[in-house]
Every structure is written in structure tokens, then in C-alpha cells.
Chain A
Amino acid sequence: MVTFAIARQTVEDMLRRKILLILLIVGVCLIALGPSLGFLTPRESSAVLRSLGLAVILIAGLLITVISGIQVIPTEIERRTIYTVLSKPVQRYQFVLGKFLGGIMTVFVMIVAMGIVFLGVLFWHEKVFAPDMLKGVLMTFCQMMLLGALTIFFSTFAPPVVNFFMSFGLFIVGNLSTVTESLTENRNPVTAIMATIVHYTIPNFGNFNIQNKLIHPEIVIKNEMVFLTQNVVYAVLYSAVLLVLAILVFDKREV
């Protein structure tokens, strides 16, 4: 209940931030403008529409996640609101979990809002309901959950600017998971070992990039549901690891 109260308060506070509102409006506008960008490649306007929609949701989600993730705990400390919270009968782990849940619920609300507009635009433009695109939206959300857990973990010890670069850097490296995976078979043993360590220890954000598959239906993968489910489980488990670490660090943190 305490955790949820903190999460709820975080969501309400976030949703009142202008920057997030602006991101949401820009995202929705870009998605809505999608059909008019079809002229870029007349033969593949539906592919442009789909890729643009998924890309906008990803970028807006990314910005929202990073902005809220890196701020959520430091702001409380900087503005000393955390004193009034932690001096109440609140365990520190409840505070961390509440802040994480609040942040990720905010991202969820934003992504769902943009997802609805996206599906609406697709339906209006092509007269087909495209449930496949929901898979892309779900994967984006899982990606953001993992990124959110990462930024929360960093925010327990790093200032926001440092956190931004660390989270973003890891997001980029994690997105290159196909590269790190191919490097694990490198002929140079040092490279191979380094790549193996990197590939398995850093969060592999690249796992969730299924946009190309969704846009180009000729790419078929076996057991798609298993693949997607495992991605969700991966995001949940890895987030759990990061949150445990965050709790351990924050427990010793002086505020």
C-alpha cells in the first residue's frame, strides 16, 4: 500500500510535468502525420506508416523513460521532499519500488496513449485492424521497463547528467546485441571473451527490436509467441536484478 501510494503520487506528479505532456503531444502529432509522409516511398507507404509509428512510440517512450527515470529520485533529494517521505513509516525499498513503479506506469500510460492513436491512424488509413503492431508496442514497453530499472539503479548513486550518459550509453550498446553476439565468435579469443561477457551481462535492448519483422511480413520466425514471452520474462527478470541492486545501494545512501 505504501509502495503503491508512492507510485500513485509519482504518476500524478509526472503527468503534471509540461515536458512529458509536450513529448506526448509531439509524438501523437507525428503519428497522425504519418499518412502524409507516404510520398517518400510511394510503393511502400504502408511500411513507412508502420515504421514511423513504431519509431515515434519508441523515441517518445525513450525520452519519457530517461527523463523521468533520471529525475525521479534525485529531484526528491534535491527538493528535500524525500525527508518528509522517509521520515514517515516508509522503508527505503518501498520508496525505490514505488518510484520505479510510478515511473514505469507513467511510461505505460504514454505508450498506450500513443499506441491507440497509432492503431487508429492505421485503421483509418488502411481500413484494417493491425493487432500485430501491438506486439511492437508491447516490446517497446518492455524495453522501456528495463531502461527505467536501469536509470533508477543509476539514480541511486549517480547525479542526473552522469546517469543520462550511462543509461543512454548502455542503451546504445545493448541495442547492438547482434553485433556483440556476432563478436562472441570472433577469432581473437580476447575479443570473443569480452564480447561474451558484454553480450550476456549488459541488458540486451536489441532483443526487443522487432520492428523490421513487423513491417516486412516476409521475415518469419518460428514460435513467435515463445520468443515474445521470453522477451517479456527477460525484461521482468533483468529489471528485478536492477531493482534489487538499486535497493541495496539506496539502503546505504545518505539523503
Chain B
Amino acid sequence: MSAATRRRLLLAIVPLFAAVVMLQARQNPVIREMRGRERTPLIGLSTEFILGPMLGLGQAVAGLLWVRADEFFHEGDYDAILPLVRMITWLDPHQLDVYITGAWHLAYNFTDSGHRSDRRYIPPAQALLREGFHNNPTVYDIAFELGWQNSDKVRNFHEAEQWFREATVRSTTDEQGRKQPPPMFTWHQLAHSLARQGLIDESIATWRHVLSLTDAQLKEARERNDPQAWSLANVRANQLHNLTLTLKRKFSRFTHEIDFVVDGKQTKSIDMQTGRPSPPNAYLATRPNEGVPIGQPRLPALAREWETAFDARVTFPEPMVMEPRGDFAMGDGARVTIRLHDYDWRPTQLEEFTFRVDQTQTIMIDQHSVRNYAWGRTIDMSRDPKMYSFTRPEYFLVFEFDPRGTSPFIQDRTGWCGEGMTDRRFLVVKRQSNPNSPPVRLIRKVFRLTRDHILNGAPVTDADIVPNADYSRIMGEVVLSPTRRAGLAP
């Protein structure tokens, strides 16, 4: 080849390559659009895992890995599952089960020797779910799981409500690959999360709405002679039960007995619009010691204000072994939350998913049931130094009763948001994050602890009590001035 030809060839590369670069620039936005939803960061993934997808196996390898993850699960080796979860979701960002199960492992299955879950893994669990939601925005599954975790584990019912709402407007796919509306239970959980925030009217409206959806489906199914009609009828019965119950509670929450009496006979009939007894001359039957006269129809109102007479004490008989004890004049089964956390810990959200958590962080949450007006048992943190490193100089130890998450039969006494509950010393009235919700009244006693208390057993005294107003300010809560009574009564 002559030198001139070589030069010409070399020059020919210039326009060719320019065209290549221009083409790439044109393809970039399309590819970004195509992959935009698959935002799955590689952080935390070792490089050898990257080879798998390079080999192009994608979904196929992901499926096989998930089988392997299942084996680990049955062996109880939860730690081995997480890298697999990361790898599978990277290989195939559309495997919903993997996000959901992975997040479940993170939030529930890492526990200390007393089966208290490691709260440090909740932000990663939620970040993983949000990433899955981002990658699969058309299906309900992951939004529902986010709602469930927030409701069941985090007890943030406002956040839960928003995710359940997301779930209800998304779809699912049936065996034939057709798009279908999400299951009814997404609506049920939405209604529950509303009730937990004290948004009773919204909750009732949701029950009514899902009931109408079910009615329509049931009609259609019966016309088609679909065997599914039977299970739909069951679902409908449950929905009706829940609607009735909520209506009754709205009308007469603070009695223990919510059957009505007509001519001396009990009836469960209510007016499905108002929740009042039906027929209207029916009256509520209550026990005499509740202080409400028998035979008198009642307006929905608080039975009386309920002094909880709360108190909490704590000792450290051994390093990292805590003995909390307390009084609580609330029915058996009410649960007091004990929260021991670094002075600088705040509930946070992770922007991007990562397995790495701050190993120096300490956050312990436990719940103790009330029995005979008392509560408390030993909390041994000494056997899990990895979870409880106690590296900070100071800690907050919080004893709390939040009526929003408590069982319905306790709520019959306290109200949804503590309306019927008061305490001479430890009442906090806090604004909920949902601006439509009534303020929540909760009982709380806070101590400021040092390493000296926790590790050396220095006695915890009244001098260590943190005023509730101070703690609320530190945690960024908006508190209202505590009143003896919430305003449900006429």
C-alpha cells in the first residue's frame, strides 16, 4: 500500500468516527429513556458479579440465583441472601419477589438474641423497596410491601397510607398475562392505615368504596358462573364486617360492648350511614361498672377521661443488661414501647440502597405488655455487641405508649389517637405528620443515659429525666400544649 493510500485511509477514519460519535449522542437519550426506570446502583456489588450480566444471562441467571437464595433461607443463613438479592435485582430489576423478600429479611430477620430486630436495617430495607418500586412502577406489589412495612414495623401510618394508596392505583397480572386491578386487600390496608391515624370518616369512605368494587365484581362473577364468586362473597362479608365495626366504633368507641338492645334482645343492626343503632330506639348495652346507665341511647362520646398513672424506672444490674419496670393503668395487653437510642439518632430515609449501615449506631426497640397495671422485663443487650456497640457518649431511653398502634380493644378505652386518655405527668400531645389527622396524645417518659449508666451500672435517677418538651424539640416533633381531655365529647 502506498504512503498516499495509507494517508487517505487514515483521513477516512475522521469522518467515520465523527459519525459514530454523533450517532452515539443521538442514541443516548433513547437508551436513557429505555433504562431510566432501571435505576439500580452498582455500589456495594463486587466486581466479579458484574461478569454475570456481561455474559448476558440476565433473567435466566437471576432465576437460578433465587432458587439458591431460597436454600440459604431454609438454612437460616440470611446474611448470604442479601448479596444474592443485590445481584439478582441487578441482573433482573423486574423480579418483584426478590425486592420484597430481600426487604423482609432486612427489616425482620436480623435480630438480637432476644429476637428484637436490628432497627439499623430498616432504612436499607425501605430503600431497597423504593428502588424496586422505581424499577417496577406499574405493579402494586412493592408499593403494598412498603405500606405494610411502614404500618407493621415502623408504625408510621401516614407513610403507610401513602404507599397503600400507590398500591391501589396500580395493577397486577393474571395467569394469562392480562392486566388486572390490584387485590382487594390493598384497599383494606388503606382503610386500616387511615383508621390508625384517626381519620375515621376517610376510613369508612374507603370501606364503602371497596365494598362497591367488590359488589360489581361479584355481580359479574355470578353472571359468568365463575367459581371465584364464592371467595368474592367471603371477601365482601369481611368488608361489610369491617365497615360495620368502624361505624359502630365511630359512634360509640369507648364502651366495651358494642351490641345494641331492642326490647331486651341484642341486635347488631346499625344505620349504615351514621353508625347509630337501628332501629333508632335501640340502646347500647354496657356493663354497670362502666358508669353508663343501661337502656339509654348514647351519642358518640368519651366515656370518661382515663388517667393512666404511667411511670417507668430502670436499673442496669449488669453491663448492657437493662431492667425496666413501670406502672400503667391500662388494660392487660397494652404494650409499652421501650426505645434506647444514640442521642444523635433520628428516623431517616436512605436516598440509595446500600447494605452498609453505621455499625457504631445503637438503636434498640422493644415492647412490653402490661399485666396487672405493671410492665417490664429484663433486656439483655450484652450478648449482641455487634448490634449494640454503645460507642456514643449519651443515649435517650424512651418509655412510650402510642395509642395509634395498639389493639382495638385497648383503643376502645384510649380512642384512636388517645382522645380518652390522660396522664398527670407524662402526656404528650403531638401533631401527626398527616395535616388532616387529629393530634395524637401519647404517654412518654424519657431518660438521658451515659455509658456510665449502661456499662457500669451507675444508678438512673430522677435527675436523668428529660422533660418531654425537650425531647420533642430534639427529635423535631411539633407538640401542642397538653390538655386533660381531647375534644371528642359534645
Q: Hey, which bits of chain A sit against chain B, CB under 8 A?
A: 37, 40-41, 43, 46-48, 51-52, 54-55, 58-59, 62, 91-93, 171-172, 175-179, 181, 199-201, 204, 206-207, 209-213, 215-216, 218-219, 221-223, 227, 230-231, 233-234, 237-238, 240-241, 244-245, 247-248, 251
B172 to chain A, nearest CB (A): 10
Q: Report whether A59 and B31 are in contact in the complex, using a CB–CB cutoff of 8 Å.
A: no
Q: Which of B38, B56, B173 contacts A59 (CB 8 A)?
A: B56
B20 interface hit (Cβ, 8 Å): yes
Q: Is the interface of B mostly helix, strand, loop or mixed?
A: helix
Complex CA distance for A92 and B202, rounded to whole angstroms: 81
B480 interface hit (Cβ, 8 Å): no
Q: Report whether B6 and A248 are in contact in the complex, using a CB–CB cutoff of 8 Å.
A: yes
B64 interface hit (Cβ, 8 Å): yes
B214 interface hit (Cβ, 8 Å): no
Q: Report whether B58 and A178 are in contact in the complex, using a CB–CB cutoff of 8 Å.
A: no
Complex CA distance for A207 and B26, rounded to whole angstroms: 11
Stretch at the interface among B10-18, B205-213, B405-413: B10-18
Stretch at the interface among B47-55, B246-254, B256-264, B330-338: B47-55
Chain B residue with the shortest CB-CB distance to A238: B20
Q: Which of A201, A227, A244 contacts B30 (CB 8 A)?
A: A227
Residues in B with CB closer than 8 Å to A219 are 34, 37
A143 to chain B, nearest CB (A): 10
Chain B residue with the shortest CB-CB distance to A210: B34
B37 to chain A, nearest CB (A): 7
Complex CA distance for A234 and B93, rounded to whole angstroms: 27
In which size bucket is the chain B interface?
A: 35 or more
Q: Which of B6, B17, B55 contacts A241 (CB 8 A)?
A: B17
Q: Hey, which bits of chain B sit against chain A, CB under 8 A?
A: 1, 6, 9-10, 12-13, 16-17, 19-21, 23-28, 30-35, 37-38, 42, 50-51, 53-60, 63-64, 66-67, 92-95, 138, 173, 175, 177
Q: Which of A43, A58, A177, A248 contacts B31 (CB 8 A)?
A: A177
Chain A residue with the shortest CB-CB distance to B137: A218
Chain B residue with the shortest CB-CB distance to A42: B175
Given contacts A40-B66, A221-B34, A245-B13, list 15 more A-B pairs with CB under 8 A: A43-B175, A48-B60, A51-B58, A55-B58, A58-B56, A172-B54, A181-B32, A201-B21, A212-B34, A212-B35, A213-B34, A230-B26, A241-B16, A244-B10, A251-B6
Residues in A with CB closer than 8 Å to B21 are 200-201
Q: If the complex has contacts A40-B64, A181-B32, A199-B24, are A52 and B59 also in contact, measured as CB distance less than 8 A? A: yes
Q: If the complex has contacts A43-B173, A178-B31, A221-B33, are A244 and B16 also in contact, measured as CB distance less than 8 A? A: yes
Q: Report whether B24 and A234 are in contact in the complex, using a CB–CB cutoff of 8 Å.
A: yes
Residues in B with CB closer than 8 Å to A47 are 59, 94
Residues in B with CB closer than 8 Å to A46 are 177
**14 sampled A-B residue pairs with Cβ under 8 A:** A48-B59, A55-B57, A55-B60, A177-B31, A178-B31, A212-B35, A212-B94, A215-B59, A222-B30, A227-B30, A233-B23, A234-B24, A237-B16, A251-B1
Q: Report whether A244 and B54 are in contact in the complex, using a CB–CB cutoff of 8 Å.
A: no
Residues in B with CB closer than 8 Å to A201 are 21
